[in-house]
Amino acid sequence: MPGRESFYLTTPIFYVNDVPHIGHAYTEVAADVLARWHRQRGDDTWLLTGTDEHGQKIMRTATANGVAPREWADKLVAEAWKPLLATLDIANDDFIRTTDERHERTVAAFLQRLYDDGHIYAGEFEGYYCVGCEEYKRPADLVAPAAGEFAGRQVCPIHGRPVEVLQEQNWFFRMSAFQDRLLALYEERPEFVQPASVRNEIVQFVKQGLEDLSISRSSFDWGVRVPWDPSHVVYVWFDALLNYVSAIGYGQDEAEFERRWPAVHLVGKDIARFHAVIWPAMLMAAGVEVPRAVFGHGWLLVGGEKMSKSKLTGIAPNEITDVFGSDAFRYYFLSAITFGQDGSFSWEDLSARYQAELANGLGNLASRVVAMVDRYFDGEVPELGTLGRGDEFILDAARQAVAQANEAIDRFAIDEAVEASRRLVMTLNGFITDEEPWALARDPEQRERLATVLAIAVRGLKTLAVLLAPVVPKAAARLWPALGGEGEAADQDIRVAVEDGGGRVAPLDPPLFPRIELLESA
Ligand code: MSP
């Protein structure tokens, strides 16, 4: 649509060797909040997610379970990964699987182009391979644990498992040729890799010298065949990264590709290197514009370590959503953890914040205001009367919350955007406490003042419904019409505070965030 800015956002595509845990859910939810936010700004938004299905890791898992890799992937996609999107209330626009025909065709065509243009050569390589990461490791990246099952052996620092020595005759991508152009890119566009901690790590890594990349495998056959040498399949990361362009029609639907590209890639910091080094080098080789930005978020930690299924520390997202709901899941992880840093999860913290910020905070404020409009004005949202300085302050606080939240989103500071709403809830709660509308209601001479106080509170809450719609979409969808808003909260412009009142309130029953008693076992 002409005139609308394109916002094409991607999540990593998830390995289907196992079911999702809350670390995966975190990436997904953060991306969904950003996408919903941009939709509410009127941007031409597209959110892509999907699954990474080729490679040794998936093949080994399928074999260990006695099924063919495709069958395994189909099962995991249908039973685990697609249901995750419903569990978390993700509004993705597309779901790509690397086994989709549209994707495999693009991988083959892209690789052929690089081959034809002289970026690919045959070579030999020996190195340490981590199947968990699906990556060759530099000796300096490995660690030797002093104790435990793998004491004294060379293990991957992310997976904590021994690497394998691989020697291969492979096809190589001349990635080293792009070292200078990559360094120039990081220099000229500091926003290309974010946050700064991840950017620094990437710059250091590339400055140490880029090696060429082995991009094919012949020891197994679960992957896209190399077009000019069908005895090899394409290296799983080279294959996977291309999902970001195959999904929007690269080489097949130029109009769609032009409309969407370049993307913003949201990834965990563990895979930022693939996205900020290998991926732009591949695109440069093919003459395609590099992404707008790569943001590497932090990890959810358990006992100080990255939560993972392989270390048996994974928590299934629905363990949380079954108790607290998807809105609370989204709100908690995006507000309690500074986006870009690591964070720990605990049931106690989740429960305490749910109670304080959602049930007693936003939920209670909304219920009280709606009930008072119902009771004192027969459900009709009253008109604003004469405004005093305190009133202007409250109306202005709503405008400021909107401005601060939008500014924070531009910096990927999702937690700060949520914090702006949380402060507005506190401000409005303080206003109600100070003004005591229930006392005003007892005095007929204070009728106009009562109307003004409730009219201000309704405006503030409506602003909150709009501002929180990307984060707690279910609650916002109920809150907006309950305050007399017309249409949908998710269709309101998120860049401006709500300045008009009017309409009829409707009771919030059950409350937006019901009280939850945590079971002992949780
Ligand atoms: N398949 C690759 C990505 C290919 S993208 C072209 C992959 N998949 S993954 O399933 O292992 O991880 C997907 C995402 O989940 C990554 O962004 C990763 O950082 C994230 N997380 C996995 N465990 C995590 C935590 N404990 N905490 C936060 N995010 C974590 O990598």
Q: What is the pLDDT of residues 181-190, one digit of tens each?
A: 999 999 999 9
- Radius of gyration of the chain from its Cα atoms, rounded to whole angstroms: 26
- Rounded CA-CA distance 74/327 in Å is 28
- CB-count exposure of residue 322 (10 Å: 0-12, 13-18, 19+): exposed
Omega prior to 481 cis, within 30 of 0: no
Q: Does residue 263 line the site of ligand 1, with CB under 6 A?
A: no
Q: Which two tokens stand for residue 255?
A: 């109009």
Q: Is 130 a catalytic residue?
A: yes
> Left, alpha or beta for 51 (phi > 0: left; psi -120 to 50: alpha)?
beta
- Rounded CA-CA distance 265/30 in Å is 12
pLDDT of 1 over the 80 cut: no
CB environment 27-36: b (16+ within 10 A), e (fewer): bbbbbbbbbb
Q: What phi, psi does 149 have (nearest 5°)?
A: -55, -35
Residue whose token pair is 């936010």:
37
- Superfamily of domain 347-491 in CATH is Isoleucyl-tRNA Synthetase; Domain 1 (1.10.730.10)
Choosing from 119, 137, 232, 306, the catalytic residue is 306
Answer whether 193's CB lies under 8 Å from 272's CB.
yes
Q: Does residue 54 line the site of ligand 1, with CB under 6 A?
A: no
Strand partners, 299: none
What integer is the mean pLDDT of 33-61?
A: 97
Residue whose token pair is 């009127």:
42
> What's the pLDDT score for residue 311?
64
Q: How far is the CA of 267 from the centre of ligand 1 (A)?
A: 7
Q: Domain residues of the chain, as ranges?
A: 347-491
Q: Does residue 202 line the site of ligand 1, with CB under 6 A?
A: no
Banded pLDDT at 312 (limits 50, 70, 90): low
Does residue 78 or residue 141 have the better pLDDT? 78
Q: Is 57 a catalytic residue?
A: no
Please give the number of the atom of ligand 1 that sits closest to the Cα of 266: 17
Q: Please name the residue ranges forming H helices in 41-142.
A: 56-64, 69-76, 82-88, 101-116
- Closest to 274 in 3D by CA, of 102, 17, 52: 52
Q: Which two tokens stand for residue 162?
A: 């021994």
pLDDT of 153 over the 80 cut: yes
Q: Is 159 a catalytic residue?
A: yes
Which residue's CA is the closest to the ligand 1 atom numbered 30? 23
Banded pLDDT at 357 (limits 50, 70, 90): very high
pLDDT of 522 over the 50 cut: no
Q: Is 269 a catalytic residue?
A: no
Q: Does residue 235 line the site of ligand 1, with CB under 6 A?
A: no
Choosing from 54, 119, 130, 265, the catalytic residue is 130
Please give the number of the atom of ligand 1 that sits closest to the Cα of 270: 19
Q: Is 119 a catalytic residue?
A: no
Q: Does residue 354 line the site of ligand 1, with CB under 6 A?
A: no
What three-state secondary structure class fits 46? Answer: strand
Omega prior to 382 cis, within 30 of 0: no
